[in-house]
């Protein structure tokens, strides 16, 4: 792999340093420390060239289709959620309005077009040493037991969805429970009543976010007629990646690094100069800042040391925190375990995954994209 200096990257992309740092933090441009001078960073020449190519004008249809896979144009229709003008809209309602008082159960009803109270909560004990392990084990078991989604009525699928959501919450909590989902999760995490309401807000804010990687995986599985549990397992497997659901964990580690530093501003500058991919900052869909992060952080009122660390990164990167940084700040402010970020994100997103799985089944279409072959051809 070829590497280029910052000046070359900036010249090719015609952007400011803060924008280049943002590309690194989003995983769009890889960076590493210069072996000759660890204080300087080098940047992937191929990543810079690819980004430069995306800034061209008109492209061929195949190029447009390829670009749509990575923050490009929409590739399918959905009535569930969208981001417009910096606002996250779910079923025609602003997520900020929903976050004020809604519970995750309310979000499930809205996302699934479900009326009335959910059915009786099942009690099944999941095995595993961690929330993530129990969640995977529970869904894997259900994949082998549940009926395919193909040909089943919307009412039957919604009943499955409620059952999966409750089983999933129990698996994350580590024991069967009763009551509202945010209260059950808060108890398992050791949060007080005030913390439980912050967790409620976070669950609502993270419930769905249009066609993200895990949701796309869910819809692909659903398009084949797989059981809803299999669709959810596809989503959870994708969420487990370090660039998706594990991003709050990386943001948490960097937040801890800043909190423990004697000079927070200096440490932030060092992290950026070193070429660290800063997790939890900026979002391509929110050029003016992630509205979910702003809402959660405003309600949270982070502790002074945490707020100071967030301000330092915002000042040095020129970007605003996204939901990953907000989840990290919430976890530390409420004194939760590191596992809390994944549990909260996964439980919230489960409601959205199930909504997308059911919507995909309603279309009756198999998602089957094509690949542009770049390999060798047989000799003539």
Query: What's this model's pTM, rounded to 2 decimal places?
Result: 0.81
pLDDT of res. 201: 98
pLDDT of res. 285: 85
Name the burial class of residue 285, with classes exposed (0-12), middle (13-18) and buried (19+) by CB atoms within 10 angstroms of its CB: middle
> What residues pair up with 32 in beta bridges, in sequence order?
42
Q: Is 129 left (phi over 0), alpha (psi -120 to 50) or beta?
A: alpha
Q: Is the pLDDT of residue 275 over 80?
A: no
Token pair listed for 146: 């549940």
pLDDT of res. 331: 95
Q: Is the pLDDT of residue 56 over 60?
A: no
Q: Is the pLDDT of residue 343 over 80?
A: yes
What does the mean pLDDT of the chain come to?
88
Q: What average pLDDT does the segment 66-90 reach?
A: 77
Q: Is the pLDDT of residue 58 over 70?
A: no
pLDDT of res. 128: 76
Q: Looking at the chain, which runs of residues are DSSP E strands? A: 3-5, 31-34, 37-44, 81-84, 87-90, 93-94
pLDDT of res. 175: 83
Extents of the domains making up the chain: 3-68, 84-367
CATH class of 84-367: mainly alpha
pLDDT of res. 227: 98
Q: Which residues are catalytic?
A: 283, 324
pLDDT of res. 332: 95
CA distance 132 to 7: 42
Q: What average pLDDT does the segment 100-107 reach?
A: 97
Q: Is the pLDDT of residue 57 over 50?
A: no
Helix (H, G, I), strand (E, B) or coil at 188: helix
pLDDT of res. 122: 58
Q: Is the pLDDT of residue 30 over 50?
A: yes
Q: What average pLDDT does the segment 288-314 reach?
A: 92
The pair phi, psi for residue 270, each rounded to 5°, is: -65, -45
Q: What average pLDDT does the segment 136-141 reach?
A: 96
Of the chain, the end-to-end C-alpha distance in Å amounts to 32
The gap from C-alpha 283 to its chain's centroid, in whole angstroms, comes to: 11
Q: Name every residue whose Cβ is closer than 8 Å to that of residue 373 and which is 6 or more positions away in sequence.
A: none
pLDDT of res. 14: 87
Residue closest to 322 by CA, chosen among 359, 290, 288: 290
Q: Is the pLDDT of residue 123 over 90?
A: no
Q: Which of 195-204, 232-241, 251-260 has the lowest mean pLDDT?
A: 251-260
Q: What percent of the chain has pLDDT over 90?
A: 56
Q: What average pLDDT does the segment 197-209 reach?
A: 98
């Amino acid at each position: 792999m070829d590497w280029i200096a910052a000046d070359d990257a900036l010249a090719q992309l015609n952007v400011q340093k803060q924008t280049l740092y943002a590309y690194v933090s989003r995983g769009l441009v890889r960076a590493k420390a210069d072996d000759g001078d660890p204080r300087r960073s080098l940047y992937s020449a191929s990543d810079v060239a690819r980004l430069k190519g995306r800034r061209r004008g008109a492209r061929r249809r195949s190029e447009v289709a390829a670009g749509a896979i990575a923050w490009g144009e929409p590739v399918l229709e959905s009535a569930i959620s969208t981001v417009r003008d910096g606002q996250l809209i779910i079923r025609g309602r602003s997520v900020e309005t929903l976050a004020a008082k809604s519970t995750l159960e309310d979000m499930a009803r809205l996302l699934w077009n479900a009326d009335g109270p959910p059915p009786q909560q099942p009690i099944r004990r999941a095995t595993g040493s961690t929330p993530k392990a129990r969640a995977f084990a529970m869904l894997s078991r259900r994949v082998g037991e549940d009926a395919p989604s193909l040909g089943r009525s919307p009412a039957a699928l919604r009943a499955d969805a409620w059952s999966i959501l409750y089983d999933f919450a129990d698996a994350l909590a580590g024991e069967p429970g009763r009551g509202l989902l945010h209260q059950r999760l808060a108890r398992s995490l050791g949060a007080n009543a005030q913390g439980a309401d912050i967790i409620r807000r976070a669950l609502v804010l993270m419930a769905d976010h249009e066609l993200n990687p895990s949701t796309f995986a869910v819809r692909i599985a659903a398009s084949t007629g797989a059981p809803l549990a299999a669709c959810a397992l596809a989503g959870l497997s994708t969420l487990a990646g370090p660039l998706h659901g594990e991003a709050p964990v990386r943001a948490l580690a960097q937040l801890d690094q800043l909190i423990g530093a004697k000079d927070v501003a200096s440490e932030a500058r060092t992290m950026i100069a070193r070429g660290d991919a800063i997790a939890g900052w900026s979002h391509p869909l929110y050029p003016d800042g992630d509205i979910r992060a702003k809402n959660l952080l405003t309600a949270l009122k982070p502790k002074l040391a945490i707020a100071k660390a967030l301000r330092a990164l915002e000042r040095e990167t020129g970007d605003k925190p996204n939901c990953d940084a907000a989840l990290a700040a919430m976890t530390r402010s409420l004194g939760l375990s590191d596992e809390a970020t994944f549990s909260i994100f996964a439980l919230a997103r489960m409601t959205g995954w199930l909504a997308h799985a059911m919507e995909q089944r309603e279309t009756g279409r198999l998602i089957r994209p094509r690949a542009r072959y770049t390999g060798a051809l047989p000799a003539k």
